[in-house]
Amino acid sequence: QVQLVESGGGLVQHGGSLRLSCAASGRTVSSASLGWFRQAPGKEREFVAGITWDRGFKFYAEAVKGRFAITKDDIKKIVYLQMNSLNPEDTAVYFCGSIATSSERYVRLAIKYDYWGQGTQVTVSS
């Protein structure tokens, strides 16, 4: 199994920044990519960004392109999500997930993920 622990959420004003972290442990050899998703109340979990462990390919949702950046630390097995120019529509619980493929098509699909963290709340005030 792969264990994932998110951190870094909080309350921030419109236009502010936050950096989320997702620390992976356990059987990480089974993890080919790690993705960030978010879920607002009453809405489905939606893809935000993803990164492949081996080559570092990065994928973003259109809503966050140019504002969010995903990076990884291969030694520490941590993936970061730097979020800039935040707006109230970014308010949600943010989850990181582990998936056993590097295919962009599947990295964007929550249903394909094998493991999830517990989530971290991000609230952007107007």
Q: pLDDT digit string (tens) for 1-20? A: 999 999 999 999 999 999 99
pLDDT band with cut points at 50, 70 and 90 for residue 32: very high
3 state SS of 112: helix
Q: Residue 97: CB partners within 8 Å, gap ≥ 6?
A: 4, 34, 35, 36, 37, 110, 113, 114, 115, 116, 117
pLDDT at 62 over 90: yes
CA angle, residues 83, 22, 116, in degrees to nearest 5: 115
The pLDDT value given to residue 28: 86
pLDDT at 30 over 90: no
What would the pLDDT profile of 65-120 be if each residue is shown by its tens digit?
A: 999 999 999 999 999 999 999 999 999 999 999 999 999 999 999 999 999 999 99
Q: Residue 62: CB partners within 8 Å, gap ≥ 6?
A: none
